[in-house]
Structure 1
Amino acid sequence: MSGDREARAAVARRRRARLPPRWFMVAFWHGHRALLRATGGRFGLWRPKPGRWGTLRLTTKGRRSGMPRQVVIGYFEDGRNLVTMAMNGWGPAEPAWWLNLQDHPDAIAETRDGARQVRARRAQGEERERLWSRWAEIDKNLDEYAARRPTETAVVVLEPRDAAA
């Protein structure tokens, strides 16, 4: 029986990690944002736990319009920093919030603990490898999902603005 279980596990590992259809992910994102708006932020944001990510609402400045833009993204904490990934649901395009941050790195990150002023930057080198490994502990299919994108997925560090000056 042990051999059977091992064979099934080997087949499961060879199978491509499945993502929900794109339409489902987009509908979920819209629903999540609507829940946050309808409840005044009481529901829809959660803290990261060991082995799990949390959610935050990020307000950026539009790179073309200059208007505030909000998005809900997953994150984990690394000391005082918040860490997320510019993955756009593992689609090929860069997410708009990341493009906005590249032009205007100052933003507001709202977590369950309140809002804070942050400055965004792309993690590089050893720091990126370390943070990527932490994401891989949370999401076992991370490398396979990332391989679907034509470009490297940015690991984004949101530093408290007082520390990023």
Structure 2
Amino acid sequence: MRALENVMQKVSATPTFARIAPSVVPRLDKAVHRLSGGKFMLSQWMLPSLFLTTTGRRSGEPRTTPLACLPEGETFLVVGSNFGRTSHPAWTGNLLADPDAVVEHRGRTTSVRARLLAGDERAEAWTALLRMWPPYAAYQARVEREIRLFRLEPR
């Protein structure tokens, strides 16, 4: 399993993966989640993962996105890496517009409030996230924007 994780980390750090993954990985995660009755996601075999439901800032409609996460007690850290693409992912803009969201993690649904991290708190979270998934460093190196980090706290 460790060898597979090492291969996946190398592959996921490439620009080619950044072009392909955003259209493939979320669809696979959603399909596996639906077929398993909400018990599994494809991504969870490599990283802790959750489904985040935000309110679309333009549409006002619920938007559900599978994301890697770092659980920390009752909270979760999530990364707006967008696989190292130049733009911020839409879900981060949704959280900035309306920080109230819903998380589904391991079959449990929780209402959360998102907080954009800055300063020392962001630096500490970034270090922890890099320990979990080193390719985040390659994503940050490819983009000029600062990758957004959020802490999701239960409401």
CA RMSD, 1 decimal? 2.0
Alpha-carbon contact 2:47-2:69 (below 8 Å) kept:
yes
Gaps of 5+ in 1: 1-16
Q: Does structure 1 residue 32 correspond to structure 2 residue 43?
A: no
After TM superposition, the score normalised by the length of structure 2 is 0.82
Secondary structure, counterpart of 2:151 in structure 1: strand
* Partner residue in 2 for 1:44: 41
* Partner residue in 1 for 2:145: 151
- Out of 73, 82, 86, the position equivalent to 1:88 is 82
After TM superposition, the score normalised by the length of structure 1 is 0.78
Identity %: 33
* Partner residue in 1 for 2:3: none
Secondary structure, counterpart of 1:108 in structure 2: strand
Alpha carbons of 1:36 and 1:140: their partners in 2 closer, same or farther (altered >3 Å)?
same
Alpha carbons of 1:107 and 1:135: their partners in 2 closer, same or farther (altered >3 Å)?
same
Q: Does structure 1 residue 62 correspond to structure 2 residue 56?
A: yes
Q: How many residues align?
A: 142
Alpha-carbon contact 1:47-1:112 (below 8 Å) kept:
no
Larger Rg: 1
Alpha-carbon contact 2:18-2:83 (below 8 Å) kept:
no
Gaps of 5+ in 2: 1-12
Deviation at 1:47, TM superposition (A): 6.8
Distance 1:145 1:26 in 2: 17
Q: Out of 81-90 and 52-61, give the one that drifted further.
A: 52-61
* Partner residue in 2 for 1:100: 94
